[in-house]
Amino acid sequence: MNPAQRNEEALRFLLTRRSRPPKTLHAPVPDRAGLNEILTAGLRVPDHGKIEPWRLVVFERAALDRLAREADVYATAQGIDPGTAAKGASQFAQSPLCIAVIASPKPSEKAPEIEQMLSAGCVCLSLVNAALAAGWGAAWLTGWVAHDRGFAAKAFGLAPDEWVAGLIHIGTQSAEPPERPRPDVAALTTWVAE
Segment 164-173, tens digit of pLDDT:
999 999 999 9
Q: pLDDT band at residue 177, thresholds of 50, 70 and 90? A: confident
pTM here is 0.94
Cβ-based neighbours of 177, under 8 Å, separated by 6 or more? 18, 19, 20, 21, 24
Kindly state the average pLDDT of the residues 70-92: 97
> Do 131 and 170 touch, CB atoms closer than 8 A?
yes
Q: Where are the domains of the chain?
A: 18-174
How far is the CA of 186 from the CAs of 13, 63, 73, 191, 193, in angstroms?
A: 22, 45, 47, 10, 16
What gap in Å lies between CA 125 and CA 98, rounded to an integer?
14
Assigned CATH for 18-174: 3.40.109.10
How far is the CA of 108 from the CAs of 99, 118, 143, 158, in angstroms?
A: 26, 15, 29, 20
What pLDDT does residue 1 have?
59
Kindly state the average pLDDT of the residues 43-58: 95
Q: Angle between the 61-78 and 82-94 helix axes, to the nearest 10 degrees?
A: 170
Going by the annotation, the residues of the binding site are: 17-19, 44, 48, 140-142
Kindly state the average pLDDT of the residues 59-79: 97
What pLDDT does residue 61 have?
95
Q: Per-residue pLDDT for 2 more than 80? A: no
What pLDDT does residue 176 have?
81
How far is the CA of 39 from the CAs of 79, 100, 119, 173, in angstroms?
A: 36, 12, 15, 19
Going by the annotation, the residues of the binding site for FMN are: 17-19, 44, 48, 140-142
**Of the candidates 169, 177, 175, the residue with the CA atom closest to the CA atom of residue 29:** 169
Kindly state the average pLDDT of the residues 136-155: 97
Cβ-based neighbours of 33, under 8 Å, separated by 6 or more? none
